Amino acid sequence: MGKRILFNLLFWNIYCIIVAFFYSGYAGFARSLHFSVILVFFQALFTYTNLYILIPVFLKRKHIILYILSTILVIGILSIVRFQIPSLLGEVTRRQIGLRSRIVFFEFHLLLAYSLSTAYYFIIEWFKNTQTKAELKFQQVESELKYLRNQINPHFLFNTLNNIYTLCYLKDDKAAPSVLKLSEMMRYMLHESNSSRIELEREVQFIRNYLELQKLKKEDAMQITFDVKGVKGRHKIAPLVLIAFFENCFKHGDIETNPSGWIKAELSVNDDNELILFVGNSKRQAAKIQENRKHVGLDNVRNRLALLYNTNYQLKICDEDIQYRIYLTIKLEE
């Protein structure tokens, strides 16, 4: 509040001096300054009356006629006060022009203050509304992203725990490493994924752990490959944005039931800082999925990509009879 008052005082003082210099050609600077002080005082008085009384009470409530009438009334009152005080009549224009002309001249300056103050008010209101809308949009996007993050398949956790329990029961050597991988995944999902961006290396490790734990479902080795090239520590990505493509391979592929089933994924980052991801999987030719349940996870990740990367990504999906493939390109941040 104190800074605002000082700024306003500074503005009106500078404006007063400018007006004095402008009219100093008609008389000496002293008389021009006297004239400008009187004029600027009434302009300032009318400006604050308009900003803090007329606009909030009438115009913002859409009482247009009352606003116009009240504006005319205030101008009339200020004009009467201005020219009824004898001590204020001794200004530079007194000898050169008559009273009527001086009143018109005075009211012109009041209308100038009126126009500028009204424009100022609505410009400030526009900026405030724009900022409010931006904040609301940001909050909406944040809420949507949190919701979409929580869409990751919870069945994976329960199935993995059951598989680890079996390994522990059988005293399999893979039990301890599996617990460690699951622990890393949970830490990543609960803590690190709260950031807007995370190191791509961490996301890649999360996917590797996911694939390793999925392999526990079958005693026989699964044909799963995941090749990574060009990933460096400076590369950043939105957390958990890639995992849905891998989840989809297990949900709708046939790797768990088909001895020849396969999942193949390739992730690379080129010199232009573009992430290029390919994920493909085999599927049963006769498999049909109800339309309203098909690839819900991919719908979620498509929404996340649109929210997070806008036009800085491309996603291509190829759904064929015996295989399913996706191609994703994202412009990464450093």
- Residue 263: band (very low, low, confident or very high) from pLDDT cuts 50, 70, 90: very high
Scan for tokens 């008010």, then name that residue.
121
Q: Which two tokens stand for residue 256?
A: 């768990």
What burial class does residue 50 get, using C-beta atoms within 10 Å of its C-beta: 0-12 exposed, 13-18 middle, 19+ buried?
A: buried
pTM of the predicted structure, to 2 decimals: 0.56
- Distance in angstroms (rounded) separating the CA atoms of residues 227 and 5: 64
267 vs 153, higher pLDDT: 267
Confidence of residue 238 (pLDDT cuts 50, 70, 90): confident
Residue among 316, 308, 315, 291 at smallest CA distance from 149: 308
Containing 8, the helix (H) or strand (E) segment is helix 2-23
Q: Which of 98, 112, 119 is nearest to 46 (CA)?
A: 112
Higher pLDDT, 240 or 290: 240
DSSP states of 217-267: G-SSPPEEEEEEES--TT-EE-TTSSHHHHHHHHHHS-TTT-TT-EEEEEE
Among the listed ranges 59-73, 255-269, 287-301, which one has the minimum average pLDDT value?
287-301
Distances (CA, A) of 326 to 101, 140, 208, 267, 280: 79, 28, 18, 12, 6
Q: Is 325 helix (H, G, I), strand (E, B) or coil?
A: strand
Reported as a single tens digit per residue, the pLDDT across 279-300 is 999 987 655 544 444 555 577 7
